[in-house]
Amino acid sequence: MDEKVIDMRKILQNKYFAEDNLPRTGSIHPEFSHTMTVCVDAFECGLAQGWIHNYYFESKTEFSSLDQMLLGIDDILDRAGECQRDTRLRTTFKKEPTVKRTSMDDEQFVDYLTSSIAERMPPAFNPDTLRVKEGKLASYFIRVLARQHSSMQGVINRAGKEGVCVFRSEMELLRLIRDDLTAECSWNKRKAGK
Protein backbone atom coordinates (compact mmCIF):
# COMPACT_ATOMS: atom_id res chain seq x y z
CA MET A 1 0.00 0.00 0.00
CA ASP A 2 1.65 3.28 -1.12
CA GLU A 3 -0.87 5.58 0.56
CA LYS A 4 0.28 7.13 3.81
CA VAL A 5 -2.05 6.51 6.71
CA ILE A 6 -2.03 8.71 9.77
CA ASP A 7 -1.62 6.49 12.79
CA MET A 8 -3.55 8.25 15.55
CA ARG A 9 -2.15 5.78 18.07
CA LYS A 10 1.24 7.49 17.81
CA ILE A 11 -0.38 10.73 18.92
CA LEU A 12 -2.90 9.49 21.46
CA GLN A 13 -1.72 6.07 22.67
CA ASN A 14 0.42 5.44 25.75
CA LYS A 15 -0.56 8.77 27.22
CA TYR A 16 -3.04 9.64 29.84
CA PHE A 17 -5.21 12.07 27.89
CA ALA A 18 -4.51 14.92 30.29
CA GLU A 19 -0.83 14.60 29.32
CA ASP A 20 -1.17 15.29 25.61
CA ASN A 21 -0.86 18.89 24.45
CA LEU A 22 -4.57 19.45 23.80
CA PRO A 23 -6.93 21.02 26.39
CA ARG A 24 -9.76 19.03 27.96
CA THR A 25 -13.44 19.57 27.19
CA GLY A 26 -15.01 17.84 30.19
CA SER A 27 -17.45 15.80 28.06
CA ILE A 28 -18.97 12.43 28.83
CA HIS A 29 -17.12 11.03 25.80
CA PRO A 30 -13.40 10.22 25.83
CA GLU A 31 -11.24 13.23 25.02
CA PHE A 32 -9.82 11.72 21.82
CA SER A 33 -13.30 11.75 20.29
CA HIS A 34 -13.28 15.57 20.11
CA THR A 35 -10.32 15.60 17.71
CA MET A 36 -11.15 15.78 13.99
CA THR A 37 -8.61 15.15 11.28
CA VAL A 38 -8.78 17.45 8.26
CA CYS A 39 -6.88 16.08 5.27
CA VAL A 40 -6.19 18.56 2.46
CA ASP A 41 -5.49 17.05 -0.96
CA ALA A 42 -5.35 20.22 -3.06
CA PHE A 43 -5.12 24.00 -2.69
CA GLU A 44 -5.64 25.92 -5.93
CA CYS A 45 -6.82 29.50 -6.43
CA GLY A 46 -7.31 29.82 -2.68
CA LEU A 47 -9.69 26.83 -2.51
CA ALA A 48 -8.77 23.84 -0.35
CA GLN A 49 -10.16 20.41 -1.17
CA GLY A 50 -10.17 17.40 1.08
CA TRP A 51 -11.91 15.37 3.78
CA ILE A 52 -12.88 15.65 7.44
CA HIS A 53 -12.55 12.47 9.48
CA ASN A 54 -13.98 12.18 12.98
CA TYR A 55 -14.47 9.60 15.70
CA TYR A 56 -18.26 9.97 15.88
CA PHE A 57 -19.39 8.82 12.45
CA GLU A 58 -18.13 6.21 10.00
CA SER A 59 -18.56 8.46 6.97
CA LYS A 60 -16.04 11.16 6.14
CA THR A 61 -17.13 14.65 5.09
CA GLU A 62 -15.86 16.07 1.81
CA PHE A 63 -15.17 19.78 1.31
CA SER A 64 -14.19 21.88 -1.70
CA SER A 65 -13.36 25.11 0.12
CA LEU A 66 -12.40 26.21 3.61
CA ASP A 67 -15.88 27.59 4.29
CA GLN A 68 -17.36 24.18 3.41
CA MET A 69 -14.82 22.66 5.82
CA LEU A 70 -16.12 24.92 8.62
CA LEU A 71 -19.74 24.07 7.85
CA GLY A 72 -18.80 20.38 7.82
CA ILE A 73 -17.13 20.61 11.23
CA ASP A 74 -20.15 22.51 12.56
CA ASP A 75 -22.51 19.83 11.21
CA ILE A 76 -20.46 17.02 12.77
CA LEU A 77 -20.57 18.75 16.16
CA ASP A 78 -24.34 19.32 15.86
CA ARG A 79 -25.01 15.68 14.94
CA ALA A 80 -22.72 14.39 17.71
CA GLY A 81 -24.31 16.70 20.27
CA GLU A 82 -20.94 18.06 21.36
CA CYS A 83 -19.71 21.61 22.02
CA GLN A 84 -23.19 23.05 22.18
CA ARG A 85 -23.69 26.59 20.90
CA ASP A 86 -24.40 29.45 23.24
CA THR A 87 -26.66 31.08 20.63
CA ARG A 88 -29.02 29.76 17.98
CA LEU A 89 -27.88 30.66 14.47
CA ARG A 90 -30.31 32.41 12.15
CA THR A 91 -31.34 30.46 9.09
CA THR A 92 -33.60 32.99 7.39
CA PHE A 93 -33.74 36.70 6.57
CA LYS A 94 -37.18 36.96 8.17
CA LYS A 95 -37.42 38.38 11.65
CA GLU A 96 -37.88 35.55 14.09
CA PRO A 97 -40.45 35.93 16.84
CA THR A 98 -39.11 36.74 20.27
CA VAL A 99 -39.24 33.74 22.54
CA LYS A 100 -39.40 34.25 26.26
CA ARG A 101 -37.17 31.71 27.92
CA THR A 102 -38.02 30.41 31.31
CA SER A 103 -35.40 29.22 33.72
CA MET A 104 -35.35 25.65 34.99
CA ASP A 105 -35.37 24.64 38.59
CA ASP A 106 -32.73 22.17 39.79
CA GLU A 107 -34.89 19.10 39.25
CA GLN A 108 -35.81 20.13 35.68
CA PHE A 109 -32.14 20.80 34.92
CA VAL A 110 -31.11 17.34 36.17
CA ASP A 111 -33.85 15.74 34.02
CA TYR A 112 -32.74 17.78 31.00
CA LEU A 113 -29.08 16.87 31.54
CA THR A 114 -29.85 13.17 32.02
CA SER A 115 -31.96 13.00 28.84
CA SER A 116 -29.40 14.91 26.75
CA ILE A 117 -26.60 12.58 27.90
CA ALA A 118 -28.72 9.53 27.06
CA GLU A 119 -29.39 10.90 23.55
CA ARG A 120 -25.71 11.29 22.72
CA MET A 121 -24.18 8.51 20.75
CA PRO A 122 -20.80 7.03 21.66
CA PRO A 123 -17.94 7.50 19.20
CA ALA A 124 -17.86 4.98 16.33
CA PHE A 125 -14.05 4.76 16.46
CA ASN A 126 -11.16 4.82 18.91
CA PRO A 127 -7.47 5.61 18.25
CA ASP A 128 -6.84 1.94 17.37
CA THR A 129 -9.64 1.67 14.81
CA LEU A 130 -9.73 5.05 13.02
CA ARG A 131 -7.52 4.78 9.94
CA VAL A 132 -7.16 8.08 8.07
CA LYS A 133 -5.36 8.48 4.76
CA GLU A 134 -2.95 11.40 5.04
CA GLY A 135 -3.82 14.45 2.94
CA LYS A 136 -1.73 14.84 -0.22
CA LEU A 137 -0.85 18.40 0.77
CA ALA A 138 -1.38 18.60 4.55
CA SER A 139 -3.30 17.13 7.47
CA TYR A 140 -4.52 18.94 10.59
CA PHE A 141 -5.87 17.83 13.94
CA ILE A 142 -8.61 20.17 15.11
CA ARG A 143 -10.26 20.03 18.52
CA VAL A 144 -13.20 22.38 18.99
CA LEU A 145 -13.50 23.24 22.67
CA ALA A 146 -16.43 25.68 22.51
CA ARG A 147 -18.87 27.38 20.16
CA GLN A 148 -19.46 30.78 21.70
CA HIS A 149 -20.49 34.10 20.18
CA SER A 150 -21.72 32.37 16.99
CA SER A 151 -18.20 31.09 16.29
CA MET A 152 -15.78 28.29 17.25
CA GLN A 153 -12.88 28.19 19.64
CA GLY A 154 -10.32 25.41 19.93
CA VAL A 155 -6.86 24.20 19.04
CA ILE A 156 -5.20 23.08 15.81
CA ASN A 157 -2.08 21.05 15.19
CA ARG A 158 -0.50 20.25 11.84
CA ALA A 159 0.19 16.52 11.49
CA GLY A 160 3.91 15.80 11.45
CA LYS A 161 4.87 19.19 12.88
CA GLU A 162 5.44 20.40 16.40
CA GLY A 163 3.27 22.90 18.18
CA VAL A 164 -0.37 23.51 18.92
CA CYS A 165 -2.06 26.80 18.03
CA VAL A 166 -5.17 28.11 19.76
CA PHE A 167 -7.86 29.70 17.58
CA ARG A 168 -10.46 32.07 19.00
CA SER A 169 -12.84 32.22 16.05
CA GLU A 170 -13.71 30.53 12.78
CA MET A 171 -12.03 33.38 10.91
CA GLU A 172 -8.80 32.79 12.81
CA LEU A 173 -9.00 29.05 12.04
CA LEU A 174 -9.52 29.82 8.34
CA ARG A 175 -6.54 32.16 8.29
CA LEU A 176 -4.27 29.67 10.09
CA ILE A 177 -5.06 26.92 7.60
CA ARG A 178 -5.03 29.19 4.55
CA ASP A 179 -1.70 30.77 5.45
CA ASP A 180 -0.16 27.37 6.19
CA LEU A 181 -1.40 25.94 2.87
CA THR A 182 -0.18 29.01 0.98
CA ALA A 183 3.28 28.61 2.53
CA GLU A 184 3.26 24.86 1.78
CA CYS A 185 2.35 25.43 -1.88
CA SER A 186 4.97 28.17 -2.20
CA TRP A 187 7.60 25.86 -0.70
CA ASN A 188 6.59 23.02 -3.04
CA LYS A 189 6.86 25.32 -6.09
CA ARG A 190 10.31 26.54 -5.06
CA LYS A 191 11.40 22.96 -4.43
CA ALA A 192 10.16 21.93 -7.89
CA GLY A 193 11.96 24.92 -9.47
CA LYS A 194 8.82 26.57 -10.81
Q: What is the mean pLDDT of each run of 10 residues along the chain (194 residues)?
A: 62 45 55 83 93 89 95 89 74 74 76 66 71 88 88 89 88 95 82 68
- What's residue 110's pLDDT? 74
pLDDT at 168: 93
DSSP per residue, the chain: --S-EEEHHHHHTTS-GGGSSS-----SS-GGGGEEEEEEEEEETTEEEEEEE-SS-SS-EEESSHHHHHHHHHHHHHHHT-S-BSSPPP-SSSPPPP-PPPPP-HHHHHHHHHHHHHHSPPPS--TTT-EEEPPSSEEEEEEEEEB-TTS-EEEEEETTS---EEESSHHHHHHHHHHHHHHHHHHHHHHHT-
**pTM for the predicted model, two decimal places:** 0.73
